[in-house]
Amino acid sequence: MTENRIFNFNAGPSALPLPVLKEIQESFLNYKNSGMSLIEMSHRSAQFDEVVNDTVARTRRLLNIDEKYHVLFIQGGASLQFAMIPMNLLGVGSSADYVNTGTWSTKAIKEAKLLEKKINVVASSEDKNFSYIPQNIKFNKDAKYVHITSNNTIKGTQWHSFPDTNGVPIISDMSSDIFSRPLEMEKFGMIYAGAQKNIGPAGVCLVIMRDDMLKLSEDLLQSETKTLPNMLRYNTYSSQNSMYNTPNCFGIYATQLVLKWLEEEVGGLAKMEARNQEKGQMLYDFIDGSNFYRATAEKESRSLMNVTFRLPSEELEKEFIGQATKNGMGGLKGHRSVGGCRASIYNATTMEAVEALIKFMKSFATGK
């Protein structure tokens, strides 16, 4: 641990890189000699323009995307996107395909149905309690998009390769694994991510939307949904550089610093992926080799971001979580909907943290 900080395994809001937190701390009262904090600064100022534009530029470089992708910052988290997507992209007579891999996919499906949009749930892993990612899915060629959740924080599953949709654009909720690995962006018409799991504090959602998807939205707004409020339209954000209204200035600034850390200290997404694979492999290997702990996700679908596991009894799980807290490890309690234990090992979680967790797990299992 550093400076009396715990090892933070929270699922979200979650750990941020220590260098980012230190830079925020050092500049908090006087941002770049402006005489004020960034959170006091006008979002119309040249200084904040620089923050937004640099965050966009770093996003483009890290994901290797050009101007045909629009980088937007929208409030309301990923949960608002569950509704905004069908509102903007599904008109009368059109439909979309959804893959249900658990809680967040289920909520996205529910929102689309609430809006009375036509969607097809083309695959689901509900038959095995969402412990795996479906494969060999048959998609509808006339679907406007295919919606997936790339990583399930609650069930501990992750898409390790993305499906062949025969040219139908993928829209992916990447809240919990964005920037954890390189992406073949040509497959995606849109990705979105609530910042609080892997790229920043809660309150801002990063949306990356391709030209053709934005045009689909604009055409639909012109022809059918003219009464859709401005704040629920993607073109409101794309045309105003995400500053139609006052954005989450602090959230965007913190995201900028996380992306700077990824670029300049980690060295890009390929190196970040290698780190994440090493951390995940180490923890899963220990669990698989133990007679005391049991991973809950099927091996081929296991998440490198959220490692979910059980102990022999719920009583032992409670004791484990309590003892872990006393030993400087926080956030190991599983989601309230499933119980058990969960170690979220996002980008900012260090190898030191994973090694400390394994050492504690060994000690707890043996009573030594």
| Tens-place pLDDT, residues 196-244 | 999 999 999 999 999 999 999 999 988 886 789 999 999 999 999 999 9
Catalytic residue among 155, 173, 177, 261: 173
Q: What range does the domain containing 115 cover? A: 22-264
Q: Is the same domain home to 260 and 279?
A: no
Q: How far is C-alpha 149 from the chain's CA centre?
A: 9
Determine which helix (DSSP H) or strand (DSSP E) holds 148, and give its type and residue range. strand 146-149
Of 182, 172, 136, 129, give the one whose Cα is nearest residue 151. Answer: 172
Q: Is the same domain home to 294 and 227?
A: no
Mean pLDDT, residues 3-11 taken together = 92
Domain count, the chain: 2
Question: What's the pLDDT at 78?
Answer: 97
DSSP codes joined into one string, 53-116:
HHHHHHHHHHHT--TTEEEEEESSHHHHHHHHHHHHH--TT-EEEEEE-SHHHHHHHHHHHHTT
Q: Is the same domain home to 189 and 227?
A: yes
Has residue 351 got a pLDDT over 70? yes
Share of the chain above pLDDT 70, in %: 99
Report if residue 280 sits inside a domain.
yes
Q: Which two tokens stand for residue 273?
A: 């992926």
Q: Are 179 and 65 in contact (CB under 8 A)?
A: no
Q: Is the same domain home to 258 and 276?
A: no
Q: Are 114 and 104 in contact (CB under 8 A)?
A: no
Mean pLDDT, residues 338-361 taken together = 98
Catalytic residue among 97, 104, 144, 155: 104
Report if residue 17 sits inside a domain.
no
CATH number, residue 158: 3.40.640.10
175 Cβ contact partners less than 8 Å away, ≥ 6 residues apart = 12, 78, 104, 151, 153, 192, 193, 194, 196, 197, 198
Q: Is the same domain home to 313 and 260?
A: no
Report the alpha-carbon distance of residue 194 to residue 159 in Å, rounded.
18
Q: Are 184 and 163 in contact (CB under 8 A)?
A: no
Q: Is the same domain home to 236 and 304?
A: no
Mean pLDDT, residues 312-332 taken together = 97
Q: Is the same domain home to 56 and 152?
A: yes
pLDDT tens digit sequence for 47-82: 999 999 999 999 999 999 999 999 999 999 999 999
Report if residue 16 sits inside a domain.
no
Question: What's the pLDDT at 76?
Answer: 97
32 an active-site residue?
no
Question: What's the pLDDT at 1?
Answer: 47
Q: Is the same domain home to 230 and 347?
A: no
110 an active-site residue?
no
Q: Which of 264, 283, 311 is the last residue of a domain?
A: 264
Report if residue 5 sits inside a domain.
no
Report if residue 12 sits inside a domain.
no
Report if residue 13 sits inside a domain.
no
Report the alpha-carbon distance of residue 152 to residue 170 in Å, rounded.
17
Q: Is the same domain home to 258 and 310?
A: no
Q: Is the same domain home to 310 and 237?
A: no
Q: Give the count of alpha carbons within 13 A of 65, CB side only.
A: 26
Share of the chain above pLDDT 90, in %: 96
Mean pLDDT, residues 9-28 taken together = 97
261 an active-site residue?
no
Q: Are 99 and 148 in contact (CB under 8 A)?
A: yes
Q: Which of 264, 280, 306 is the last residue of a domain?
A: 264
CATH number, residue 336: 3.90.1150.10
Question: What's the pLDDT at 3?
Answer: 66
Q: Is the same domain home to 49 and 137?
A: yes
Catalytic residue among 117, 144, 155, 197: 197
In sequence order, what are the beta bridge partners of 306? 344
Question: What's the pLDDT at 226?
Answer: 73
Question: What's the pLDDT at 2?
Answer: 54
Q: Are 304 and 176 in contact (CB under 8 A)?
A: no
Number of residues that make up the chain: 368
DSSP codes joined into one string, 330-353:
E--BPPTTT-SEEEE--TTS-HHH
Report if residue 140 sits inside a domain.
yes
Which pTM was predicted? 0.97
Question: What's the pLDDT at 265?
Answer: 98
Q: Is the same domain home to 57 and 109?
A: yes
Q: Which of 264, 298, 332 is the last residue of a domain?
A: 264
